């Protein structure tokens, strides 16, 4: 089932695109943005991708916001399940863009204070216009970037979504430590579901023993070496299916599909120990004669688990999706 971005907000954004016959202009901006991204993608460690005009920022809201919002919603829902007593009052969203991760968090928690760190004025402008009015909190923006100084103080929930991969990898460790220093509760990092995004998550895991007071919350059921990091051409990532509107499809080079699949990787750290499931599904389940699940286990193994109809696990796992956790002793 495709995830639905809030229809009222999507309609508001698309109405703004249609005003004064600007659809063609926004489509052109989206094409330029995509072409520029393709040129820098894969060029190594220094992938600074910035939106350069207000039209590009508006195109981003139509073309990318539904997918990044859906990925963040999926991750934060899983985090809420892992730490059900967590009730953040303050949120720091670093590399906030228009406020995507914060908007997703606001669907799950009633926090009072939100600080968004975003250096791109065009993303801040569309965020202030469309996204943050949907969030019931005291909101402030900081213009600094992740590689610069972060706001003082600590925050119950720290978010860094689709941002660390834009830094040179030599800066990742310092950035992760700085983020953790600002966190008094839970830190959530969401990245692209690519080898590059996974390498960011691996860096976080490698730093875990040196992050004071940090406990791994998810998605991993164990603290050891990631089993997928030992396999060629495999990396830990997940997927969420995202509903497309008619305008969304038109900005995606005329695609006729009513959905797209957003791939992402993620990790969450907590200041308190977290009871984690003993297995996490790391691929699309197969439900033929038996239910076949690709799982990562508490023993640190990536394996395929076959569950027959006669198994006590059959009903419990039949409706599980890629990314879900469950217990199996």
- In this structure, are 148 and 296 located in the same domain? no
**Residues 12-64: pLDDT tens digits?**
999 988 885 677 877 777 777 766 665 555 554 445 557 888 989 998 998 89
- CB burial of 91-117 (b: ≥16 within 10 Å; e: otherwise) equals bbbbbbbbbbbbbbbbeebebebbbbb
- In this structure, are 265 and 300 located in the same domain? no
Given a cut of 60, whether residue 98 has pLDDT beyond it is yes
pLDDT of residue 2: 64
**Residues 255-290: pLDDT tens digits?**
677 889 999 999 999 999 999 999 999 999 987 677
**Residue 79 included in any domain:** yes
Query: How many domains in the chain?
Result: 2
State percent of the chain over pLDDT 70. Answer: 91
- In this structure, are 251 and 304 located in the same domain? no
pLDDT of residue 39: 55
**Residue 2 included in any domain:** no
Q: Is there a contact between 270 and 217 (Cβ–Cβ < 8 Å)?
A: yes
pLDDT of residue 199: 96
Given a cut of 80, whether residue 205 has pLDDT beyond it is yes
**Residue 31 included in any domain:** yes
Query: What CATH number is associated with residue 240?
Result: 3.40.50.150
Q: How far apart are the first and last CA of the chain?
A: 30
What is the residue range of 293's domain?
279-326
- In this structure, are 173 and 289 located in the same domain? no
pTM summary value: 0.93
**Residues 70-89: pLDDT tens digits?**
999 999 999 999 999 999 99
| Residues 6+ away with beta carbon under 8 Å from 22 | 55
- In this structure, are 258 and 298 located in the same domain? no
Strands (E) located in 27-176: 90-94, 113-117, 138-142, 155-161
Alpha-carbon dihedral of residues 86, 89, 92, 96, nearest 10 degrees? 90
- In this structure, are 234 and 194 located in the same domain? yes
Q: Pairing relation of β-strands 183-192 and 259-270?
A: antiparallel
- In this structure, are 188 and 68 located in the same domain? yes
């Amino acid at each position: 089932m495709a995830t639905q971005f809030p229809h009222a907000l999507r309609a508001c954004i698309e109405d703004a695109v249609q005003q004064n016959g600007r659809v063609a202009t926004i489509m052109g901006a989206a094409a330029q943005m995509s072409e520029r991204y393709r040129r820098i993608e894969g060029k190594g460690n220094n992938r600074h991708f910035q939106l350069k005009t207000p039209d590009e920022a508006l195109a981003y809201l139509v073309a990318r916001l539904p997918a990044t919002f859906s990925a963040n919603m999926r991750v934060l829902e899983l985090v809420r399940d892992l730490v059900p007593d967590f009730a953040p009052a303050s949120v720091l969203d670093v590399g906030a863009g228009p406020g995507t991760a914060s908007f997703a968090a606001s669907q799950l928690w009633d926090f009072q204070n939100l600080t968004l760190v975003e250096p791109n004025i065009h993303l801040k402008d569309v965020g202030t216009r469309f996204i943050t009015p949907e969030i019931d909190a005291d909101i402030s923006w900081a213009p600094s970037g992740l590689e610069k100084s972060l706001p003082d103080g600590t925050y119950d929930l720290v978010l860094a979504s689709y941002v660390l991969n834009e830094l040179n990898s030599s800066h990742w460790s310092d950035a992760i430590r700085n983020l953790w220093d600002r966190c008094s509760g839970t830190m959530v990092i969401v990245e692209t579901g690519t080898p590059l995004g996974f390498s960011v998550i691996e860096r976080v895991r490698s730093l875990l023993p040196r992050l004071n007071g940090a406990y791994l919350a998810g998605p991993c059921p164990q603290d050891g070496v990631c089993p997928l990091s030992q396999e060629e051409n495999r990396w830990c990532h997940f997927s969420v299916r995202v509903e497309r509107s008619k305008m969304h499809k038109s900005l995606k080079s005329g695609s006729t599909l009513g959905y797209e699949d957003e791939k992402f990787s993620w990790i969450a750290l907590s200041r308190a120990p977290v009871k984690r499931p003993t297995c996490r599904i790391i691929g699309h389940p197969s439900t033929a004669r038996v239910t076949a699940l690709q799982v990562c286990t508490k023993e640190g193994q990536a394996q395929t688990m076959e569950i027959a109809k006669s198994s006590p696990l059959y009903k419990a796992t039949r409706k599980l999706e890629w990314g879900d956790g469950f217990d199996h002793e």
